[in-house]
Amino acid sequence: MKKTIDFLLLYDLEVRDKRLIKDISKALEINNFSTIVAKLNEEFEICNKFKVKNVVINKPHFHYLERIINKLKGVKFIVLDTEGILPANNSQRCIFEPDGYIHWFTHQKDRYSFEKCKQIVSGYPRKNFISPNTTKTEGLITVATNFSYLFYSRKEILKKRNDRKLKLKNDFDVIDYRNFQRSCLKILLKVIKLNPTYNFILKPHPNDAKKLWTKIESKKFENLVIMNPQLEIDSLFKKNPQFHMCFDGCTTILDAYYANLDTITLGRFNDFNDSKLRHLEKFNISSSEFRIEKVTSQLISNSISLNKDKLFFDELNVFEKSKIIKLLMEVNHEKSFFKMSNLPDRNLLSHFLKDILKRVIPIRFSKLSRKKIV
């Protein structure tokens, strides 16, 4: 007979998500619930090995046949959106309602019209892991990158585009976003080159291509240090930089806000025009402003205005882990339900058909040519 596990808690990126998931697991175990913490790709194996009552996932992606089957068997799914704030006006495409959904902010929650799903707004879950900086090192700049769509072949990037259509509604185009990332790379390299008196510490995104960083290292910038991408973001901030740089729409701007750092964003992506993350930036370098001196002279006047969106800042400054634990316990005691949220479209039906055929007919698929840095 299979052993019963109350909660299977899954994390996506270890460097970004695991610490939060383990912290929640510990709180559940204090309340006498059995838990397993595992990587996303271990979900189906664990669900086959154990009788899992509740699965905590990072996004409500139910285009996997295994999740649909497990849902029909009575497994309950709770979404803890570890990536959190979608900077564009897109939303997750839920085929059926999850049993619970933990949002960071109200404006994210308002994008969904669930009827039975229990939802809460928790604030920013990684808030408790960031310590505010009390000192700054003049001339030192930290940078968090995201070149996640660079160095894919055309065939691979088109597949990525189709995958996003399975997961998101009202989404931006992946090709446009790749072009945005290319422009950000050009801006970043030019900033480093044209400001030799400033020192830069770059933290690559775990999804960046290994080939990219090999090429950047080959340029041998004397004012550039590339940080171990497996270290967490607070390790970067502990260098006590003068200010932090990230790309338009990057959630490390939230981490920098808690670290008491001024943030300069690189590049502009039109689909992020309504992003609330832009409330937190002190300056933006898009195409012409490359001299850091010009930026620093304007930082004082570009102070963050808390009046731009009071609700957003209220929720940004409060995180209640107890609300998450309470929701998880409430879902655990509720009966499982199956309620459709979005009817499958042609793209989704085609995906299911291909998935079934792959299970029936052995097909060899070529591996991605692109290797991630982590």
pLDDT, tens only, 172-185: 999 999 999 999 99
Helices (H), 222-291: 233-237, 252-258
Catalogue the E-assigned strands of 12-128. Answer: 35-39, 51-57, 76-80, 91-92, 100-103, 118-121
Rounded Cα–Cα distance for residues 309 and 286 (Å): 24
Show the CA angle centred on residue 185, arms to residues 183 and 187, nearest 5°.
Answer: 70
Residues 238-252 have a mean pLDDT of: 94
Rounded Cα–Cα distance for residues 55 and 11 (Å): 11
Model confidence band, residue 307 (pLDDT cutoffs 50, 70, 90): low
Nearest to 130 by CA among 265, 314, 257: 257
Phi, psi of 139 (to 5 degrees): 85, 5
pLDDT exceeds 60 at position 104: yes
pLDDT exceeds 80 at position 366: no
341 and 94 Cβ atoms separated by less than 8 Å: yes
pLDDT exceeds 60 at position 306: no
Q: Can you tell me whether residue 77 is helix, strand or coil?
A: strand
Model confidence band, residue 351 (pLDDT cutoffs 50, 70, 90): confident
pLDDT, tens only, 150-197: 999 999 999 999 999 889 999 999 999 999 999 999 999 999 999 999
Q: Is the dihedral of CA 272, 273, 279, 285 positive or negative?
A: positive
Please tell me the predicted confidence (pLDDT) of residue 9. Answer: 98
